[in-house]
Amino acid sequence: MGSTIRWGSELLTMSDTTATRSQQHRALSLSTIAFTTCFAVWTIFSIIGVQIREDLGLTETQFGLLVGTPILTGSLSRLILGIWADQYGGRFVFTLVMVLAAIATFVLSYAQTYPMMLLAALGVGLAGGSFSIGVAYISRWYPTSEQGTALGIFGVGNVGAAVTKFVAPFVMVAFGWTVVAQAWAVGLLLMALIFWFSTREDPVTAERRRSGARPESLAAQLAPLRRLQVWRFALYYFFVFGAFVALALWLPRYLVGVYGMDIKTAGMMAAFYSVPASLFRAYGGYLSDRFGARTVMYWTFGVSVGACFLLAYPPTDYVIHGIEGPIEFSLTMGIVPFTVIVFVLGFMMSLGKAAVFKHIPVYYPDRVGSVGGVVGMIGGLGGFILPIVFGMLNDFTGIWTSCFMLLFVLVGMALTWMHFAIRRMERHGVPGLDEMPELPEMLELHQQAAARRAAQPHGTDPHREPR
């Protein structure tokens, strides 16, 4: 099975023989390690931000803005970085981003005021933009039937958040937060050098350069963004990824405030959420390849609604006026059930992250960078917006569980939109639902796919829509 990419007026084809299994595995493994390093840097404020908050006497809202600022840069940059990866090759763009983020992280260690830290945090956030680069780079090494698993494995790099939570608290307690920033910067710079000297151009970029084909214009790259489906995927990712990042940043502060933990214990407990939300992403890719992305999304949203409802319920005292007098009891969640439910929530988010990105290289095989970039951008913006809103909700309501109340509303909206989009097709009597796109505006894509299948009666369509 091969993948066909259009560059301007030329078609470039990557077949299974273009890249050996060894080359595919090398590209995937090094990209995953590089993304893990980037993600560790991207979420560095989840730990050092707690100390900075105490040093500068920040409010909850100011703290939320500080930990969310790198997420803003990483999110907004994903679209253009994804397009650049499509145009100029992921290897160069990935390396450049790691070098720039490393410089900004090192400069952070010399910041002394809140505005200076916010400015440095903008540069640190470039590390988060590496995701859309990696998606564009990795998808070109694998045929469509294997892209869900490959991108799921690449997404395991989210475990970098857990690396920071496991290691950074001990470094910070021993040497201070500035040493954490400097050490993470050096690690990212070393990873950039290893990646550059150990990888090669993806087959599509290499073939394009050999043939002299010109990269597509920015307008052509952005054309798919007119489709409503792209923005529906973006809402899904706003929850499964944006809420994951937001909780990865917020949980240490939450555990310190609610359960009175010290920062080292809170970091370890928060990692218990980050690890499953990262490692099982590869499994989510496999399930999406095997059973369909839509099925995985239903399970993700359904279980997440229940988990967020339980986590959102605040400690409450009840008084029932019984026959023989008042009957009093309390509902509160201890650390053990909290940890279990958060683990389940992280696990389901990991499956959902892979399922969302399973759709993109199948629906938009020659626009992975731009479509993946905008979906990743919106998802990443969730990681920026939600911590700030969490802080504002704490200041406004005085209820710690208000953050999970917001997530309950968010996942409920995503589940409702997805379900009624499918039911809308059913009400219109669309034949062959399993073979059709998920929204009527994708009918044109379905017709194109049907024409390709008719032209290849003895083969399979590499661009068959996912369920």
Span of 52-66, 119-133, 199-213, 444-458 with lowest mean pLDDT: 444-458
Please check the confidence at residue 132 and state whether its pLDDT lies above 70. yes
Q: Residue 172 falls within a domain, yes or no?
A: yes
CATH number at residue 302: 1.20.1250.20
Q: Which domain holds residue 437?
A: 15-203+221-455
Q: What mean pLDDT is predicted for residues 155-177?
A: 84
Q: Residue 442 falls within a domain, yes or no?
A: yes
Please check the confidence at residue 329 and state whether its pLDDT lies above 60. yes
- pLDDT of 31 reads 92
- pLDDT of 183 reads 94
Q: Residue 432 falls within a domain, yes or no?
A: yes
Displacement of CA 422 from its chain's centroid (Å): 24
Let me know if 364 is exposed, middle or buried by CB neighbors in 10 A (0-12, 13-18, 19+): buried
- pLDDT of 459 reads 44
28-42: pLDDT as tens digits: 999 999 999 998 998
| 315 φ/ψ sector (left φ>0, alpha ψ -120 to 50, else beta) | beta
Confidence grade of residue 9 (pLDDT, cut at 50, 70, 90): very low
Q: Residue 213 falls within a domain, yes or no?
A: no
Please check the confidence at residue 458 and state whether its pLDDT lies above 90. no
Q: What mean pLDDT is predicted for residues 368-374?
A: 71
225-274: pLDDT as tens digits: 667 777 888 888 899 988 887 887 788 888 888 888 887 788 777 777 77
Q: Residue 329 falls within a domain, yes or no?
A: yes
Q: What mean pLDDT is predicted for residues 374-378?
A: 79
Domain count, the chain: 1
Backbone angles phi, psi at 12, to 5 degrees: -115, 130
Span of 160-174, 375-389, 413-427 with lowest mean pLDDT: 413-427
Element (H, E) at 86: helix 60-88
50-82: pLDDT as tens digits: 888 888 888 877 887 888 788 888 888 887 888
Of all residues in the chain, the percent with pLDDT exceeding 90 is 18
Residue 254: name the closest of 68, 408, 399 by CA: 399
Q: Between 382 and 328, name the one with better pLDDT.
A: 382
- pLDDT of 467 reads 42
Cα atoms in the Cβ-side hemisphere of radius 13 Å centred on 71: 32
